[in-house]
Structure 1
Amino acid sequence: MDNKPEIFTFNPETALSDFQAYLYERENAKATISKYMTDIRTFYKYLDRNYQIDKKCIVAYKEWLEPQYEVTSINSMLVALNQFLDFMGFGKWKVKRLKVQKQLFIPEAKEMTKEEYKRLIEAAKSQKKHQLAMSIKTLAATGARVSELMFFTVESVKKGTITISNKGKRRTILIPQILKKELLYFASKNGIVRGCIFVTKNGKPKDRSNLWREMKALCAVSKVPAQKIFPHNLRHLFARSYYKLTSDIAGLADLLGHSSLDVTRIYTANTEETYRNQIQKLGLTPE
Structure 2
Amino acid sequence: MVKEYAVTSSEAENKSVVEQSLDDFRDYLEFNNMSSNTVHVYLFAVKQFLGLYHVISHDNLMLYKCYLMEHYKPQTVNLRIRALNCYTESLQLSSSKMLMIRVQQKTFLENVISQADYEYLKKCLIRSGNMLYYFVIRFMAATGVRVSELVQIKVEHVKRGYMDIYSKDNKIRRIYIPKSLRDDALKWLRQIDRVSGYVFLNRYGDPITPAGIRGQLKKFTVLYDLDPKVVYPHSFRHRFAKNFIECCGDISMLSDILGHESIETTRIYLHRSSTEQKQIVNQIVNW
- Normalised by the length of structure 1, the TM-score is 0.77
- Name the residue aligned to 1:80: 83
Cα distance in 2, alignment partners of residues 104 and 208 from structure 1: 28
**C-alpha contact (below 8 Å) 1:36/1:80 kept by paired residues:** no
Identity score, percent: 26
- Name the residue aligned to 1:136: 137
- Name the residue aligned to 1:253: 255
The residue matched to 2:79 in structure 1 has which SS?
Answer: helix
AA aligned opposite 2:32: R
The alignment of Structure 1 onto Structure 2 pairs a total of residues equal to: 277
Cα gap change, 1:218/1:67 in structure 2, threshold over 3 Å: closer, same or farther? farther
Q: Structure 1: which 5+ runs fail to align?
A: none
The residue matched to 1:38 in structure 2 has which SS?
Answer: helix
**C-alpha contact (below 8 Å) 1:253/1:261 kept by paired residues:** yes
CA drift at 1:84: 2.8
Deviations 1:133-156 (A, max 9, x none): 322211111011222224411111
The residue matched to 1:100 in structure 2 has which SS?
Answer: coil
AA aligned opposite 1:8: V
CA drift at 1:112: 1.6
Q: Structure 2: which 5+ runs fail to align?
A: 9-15
CA drift at 1:103: 1.6
Deviations 1:107-126 (A, max 9, x none): 3xx13201222344455567
AA aligned opposite 1:26: N
- Name the residue aligned to 1:7: 6
Cα gap change, 1:162/1:94 in structure 2, threshold over 3 Å: closer, same or farther? same
AA aligned opposite 1:113: S
Cα gap change, 1:140/1:58 in structure 2, threshold over 3 Å: closer, same or farther? same
RMSD between aligned alpha carbons? 3.7
Cα distance in 2, alignment partners of residues 234 and 143 from structure 1: 7
The residue matched to 1:211 in structure 2 has which SS?
Answer: helix
Q: 2:214 aligns with which of 185, 188, 212?
A: 212
Cα gap change, 1:65/1:228 in structure 2, threshold over 3 Å: closer, same or farther? farther
Q: 2:179 aligns with which of 177, 180, 185?
A: 177
CA drift at 1:177: 2.0
- Normalised by the length of structure 2, the TM-score is 0.77
CA drift at 1:212: 2.5
Cα distance in 2, alignment partners of residues 75 and 148 from structure 1: 25
**C-alpha contact (below 8 Å) 1:243/1:268 kept by paired residues:** yes
Cα distance in 2, alignment partners of residues 246 and 209 from structure 1: 32
